[in-house]
């Protein structure tokens, strides 16, 4: 086999690896983002209910908190899927998950709240490797 043929074969293999890695990265970003995007749209569908819920836990400015939650969930989820600043977005979503666990799901004696609390903590844990750069999620930054 000639040197030119070896180079072409290596380039083709590298191209396949790049496509596989990019595809796997996209699938991972979609899976990481889905719960945030769906939750954000559910808040848009019932804002009065969400404002009441936010007020019930004693947070100030429930309308502002709702707007911020929607922006973080939908905006952050879509940005993560797009691969935009994945480390920063993953860190924001992880912190958001911990804050919401502590603010809204802290009644650990209630089985439902216990499950939601640890779901949020697990979601944050799943984003820290991305935020730390340990897991590559192909990011673009302008």
Domain tally for the chain?
A: 1
Query: Are the C-beta atoms of 40 and 93 separated by less than 8 Å?
Result: no
pLDDT digits (tens, 9 = 90+) for 21-39: 778 888 888 998 999 999 9
Domain with 124 in it = 10-131
Flag whether 1 is in a domain.
Answer: no
Residues of the chain with pLDDT under 70: 1-9, 11, 134-142
Between the CA atoms of 107, 97, 116 and 30, what dihedral angle is there, to the nearest 10 degrees?
170
Flag whether 3 is in a domain.
Answer: no
The pTM of the whole model exceeds 0.75: yes
């Amino acid at each position: 086999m000639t040197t030119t043929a070896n180079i072409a074969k290596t380039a083709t293999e590298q191209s396949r690896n790049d496509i596989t890695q990019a595809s796997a990265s996209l699938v991972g970003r979609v899976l990481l983002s889905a719960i945030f995007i769906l939750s954000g749209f559910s808040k848009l569908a019932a804002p009065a209910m969400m404002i009441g819920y936010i007020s019930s836990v004693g947070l100030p400015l429930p309308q502002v908190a709702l707007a911020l939650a929607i922006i973080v969930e939908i905006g952050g989820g879509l940005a993560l899927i797009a691969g935009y600043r994945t480390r920063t977005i993953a860190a924001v979503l992880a912190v958001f998950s911990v804050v919401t666990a502590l603010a809204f799901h802290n009644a650990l004696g209630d089985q439902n709240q216990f499950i939601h609390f640890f779901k949020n903590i697990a979601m944050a844990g799943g984003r820290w490797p991305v935020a730390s750069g340990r897991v590559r999620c192909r990011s673009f930054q302008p």
